[in-house]
Amino acid sequence: MKAPIVRIAMAALAGMTLLASCTTMPPLAATAAATPVSTPTPRAALGYVVGADLSFLKQAEERGTKFRDAGVEKPGLQIFRDHGYNWIRLRLFHTPTQLPNNLAYTIAEAKAAKALGFKFLLNFHYSDTWADPAKQTLPKAWEGKTHAELVQAIFYYTRDTIAAFRAADAMPDMVQNGNEITPGMLWPDGRLPQHWDNFAELLKSAIAGVDAGRGDAPRPLILVQIEKSGNVAATKYFFDNLIQRGVEFDVIGQSYYPWWHGSLLELRDCLDFMAEAYRKPIILVEVAYNWRPTEYRNAPAPYPETPAGQREFLEEVQRAVLATPHGLGKGIFWWEPAVPSGRLRNRGMFDDEGNALPVIDVFDKYTRGKPPARTSP
């Protein structure tokens, strides 16, 4: 199946390159009007998300990393499925030169996850490398473009990317247009707080591209992710400005790493605020904690940085999400639980020998219930 996936991805990338090279592009409204959008298949209601960002998993396994659950070696995706995980999150870079997360790689991993019954959140970074609060660097292919040209480029790129996933039978169920976009995106044009109107126009164009690329597939949910889960004032400032400018989206996403974002009490306050103020589903789209000393070597930790402490942390975060008013706490994604050796493994769910840590089974009690029907002897 790899060859068709690669051909689809290469065709999509070729189309994007051609579009990016054009010096005259039609207005966005005309482009969207010229792209027929079928009536979507009805979309199922958003159930509770037990998720993991496994963007490095495919690379880890291809390089020989083995993962074991209760001493039994299994594919990483299967281990998470066995423990109730029902969503996978995958990031996508525009044209990465050092990281694996290009279109062909991401389509392949999405197809593998879909085959096991996972739903799929696609995370556009709109950069050739990490986009986050410290940097939102333009893809090299878009350098030198005017604001109007960037609005067109993000529309075409998003549209063609979504079409490539649809053609590969790996359609995302949810899309986030940008990663941790509190500081905006596509700097300097969409940088915040300097250019709110530019940023809103870029984000609207990206969201329109999702709809234009889906064809007759169900419309993916649109999630907007920031990283202010312990800061009510900053969360209010961002989403009030976004909504005032008419950006339409379905789900609020927040990152929560306590060493950056604050205490569990601050998290609870923010969850309560978002639920009451915006009445939208809320997902903690990046969560992690270390199982050995890393972030709290010289400061008091909320939980010990041990395997047991890591598990206890996720248990408490889960309780906080479930307690969100109006039932609007809709789940958690653990960020990168299955990686090769290195610093990131400190916050993963496997030890240095690839054995699953106690945190792996936190969701067992929430996702296991009625056993399969027994057949008569």
Catalytically active residues, by annotation: 180, 286
Which pair of tokens denotes residue 25? 């592009």
How many other C-beta atoms lie within 10 A of the C-beta of residue 210?
Answer: 23
Which pair of tokens denotes residue 332? 């958690």
CA distances from 13 to 72, 111, 203 (A): 39, 18, 21
Which pair of tokens denotes residue 333? 């994604």
Q: Are 76 and 356 in contact (CB under 8 A)?
A: no
Residue type, 363: F
Which pair of tokens denotes residue 175? 């899309």
327-341 burial, b at 16+ Cβ within 10 Å, e below that, comes to: ebbbbbbbbbbbbbe
